[in-house]
Amino acid sequence: MESRLIQAALLAASCLAGCGQTSSEDAYASHHGRYLGIGVYSAGTMWSRIAVPDRADAAVASTADDEQVIVVIDSRTGEVRQCGNLTGYCIGMNPWAASLVEGQSSPVRMREHTADLQRNEANATQAEPEATANAAAAVRN
C-alpha cells in the first residue's frame, strides 16, 4: 500500500514537472550562456598533427591524447572554436576578428599533411614484402 502511494506521488510529480516547459525556440532565445554547443566529434588523425607550442610538463596531455573535439560557437562574436577534450587546446575560425593568437586560427600550421601520411603509409606497405623476403633469405643463408 505504501509503495503504491510513493509510485503515485512520483508519477504526479513527473507529470507536473513538464507544466513549466517552454518551446525549444523560447529556450534558445532566452539562453543566458555565451557559448552554444555545435557538437562533439572524434579527434581525427590530423588533429594530433597540429603544431602546438612545446609543453613544459611531459605529463600534460598533447593533441595526440585528445579523443574528442568539442565544437562551440560564441553567441556574441560568431566565432567557432574547436577544442580538444583532454588538452583544452582550441583553434578558432572567425575571419572578421583576430581574437586568437597566431597559430590558433584557421588555417593552422601542420607538422604533416594528409598526403604525407598517405605517401608514408604506401611506402611502408610496399617495403613490407621486401623486408620479409630479405629476412627469409638471411635465414636460408
Q: Could you tell me which residues come within 8 angstroms of residue 40 by beta carbon, excluding any fewer than 6 positions away? A: 68, 69, 70, 71, 85
Residue-wise pLDDT for 107-123, tens only, equals 888 888 999 999 999 99
**69: number of Cβ within 10 Å:** 21
At residue 131, the pLDDT reads: 63
66 in Cβ contact with 92 (< 8 Å) = no
Note the pLDDT of residue 47: 92
The residues, ordered by sequence, that sit 6+ positions from 28 with a Cβ below 8 Å of its Cβ are none
| 71 or 30, greater pLDDT | 71
Provide, rounded to the nearest whole percent, the portion of the chain with pLDDT above 90: 30
**Mean pLDDT value across residues 75-87:** 91
pTM over 0.85: no
**What is the structure's pLDDT at 72?**
94
The single-letter code of the amino acid at 130 is: E
For 89-92, the CB contacts below 8 A with 24+ separation are: 89/50, 89/52, 89/63, 91/50
